[in-house]
Amino acid sequence: MFLATVLNASGEVVSISEQLTSWFFSHGIKVLIILIVTWFISRFVKIFLSRFLRKVVKKSLDLGKKSTIAEEERAKTVVRVIVSVIKVVVWVLAVLIILPEFGVNIAPLLAGLGVIGLALGFGSRTLIQDYISGLFILLEDQFRVGEDIEIAGVHGIVSDFNLRRTAVRDKDSVLHFVSNNQIKKVSNFSRKK
């Protein structure tokens, strides 16, 4: 049987299986533990933290026992956004902790990611503003799908809303798409007293 051999750092001939075994017991177990802990943290965030956040969001949005389906969906959307961001941060940190176990120096990687992040931040500034504005529209309950509003000089019925943009159909049945960061003033005619 042919066994592949290589020279180790001190010049001794060792088999690849010996090297893999050595790596597994010195680094592989750490990687496995990090992945397992990250998976448990991710599950914890998804199950327990989402329940906690749902209660907090409902309380902060003043959703009582008489909450409507739209208000429940609004609360679920806010919770999903927060939980997704936390899970992404947890997994990115896990990858950054694991990379040195494979011999990757993460200092240049972090510096490069910082520069790339800065460039992307400047390039996607309006996109980020859209999402943040959409989140605040959702949190403040400024309008809902089906309501008669005026935003960015467009008066009509909200036909669709997401965190990035709002779709409004005017009286001539023209569908207007307005980026959420362009919404500086909202007039909601459906909520007249």
pLDDT tens-digit readout, 6-45 = 555 565 666 777 777 777 778 888 889 999 999 999 888 8
| Predicted confidence band of residue 48 (pLDDT cuts 50, 70, 90) | confident
Residues 34 and 119 both lie in one domain:
yes
Residues 146 and 86 both lie in one domain:
no
- Residue range 63-117, pLDDT digits in tens: 555 556 666 666 677 777 778 888 888 998 999 888 888 888 888 888 887 888 7
Looking at residue 19, its amino acid is Q
Residues 11 and 97 both lie in one domain:
yes
In a domain, 132, yes or no: no
Q: How many domains does the chain have?
A: 2
| Predicted confidence band of residue 1 (pLDDT cuts 50, 70, 90) | very low
Q: Of the residues 98, 123, 148, which one is the last residue of a structural domain?
A: 123
- Residue range 157-176, pLDDT digits in tens: 999 888 889 999 999 999 99
Of the candidates 180, 90, 92, 104, the residue with the CA atom closest to the CA atom of residue 136: 180
Predicted local distance difference test score (pLDDT) of residue 101: 84
CATH of the domain at 96: 1.10.287
Predicted local distance difference test score (pLDDT) of residue 2: 45
**159 φ, ψ (degrees, to nearest 5):** -100, -25
Sheet strands (E) in the chain: 5-7, 13-15, 148-151, 154-161, 165-169, 175-179, 186-188
Looking at residue 110, its amino acid is L
Structural contact between residues 132 and 122, judged by C-beta atoms closer than 8 angstroms: no
Domain that holds residue 153: 139-191
Residues 20 and 101 both lie in one domain:
yes
In a domain, 133, yes or no: no
The count of C-alpha atoms lying within 13 angstroms of the C-alpha of 118, restricted to the half-sphere facing its C-beta, is 5
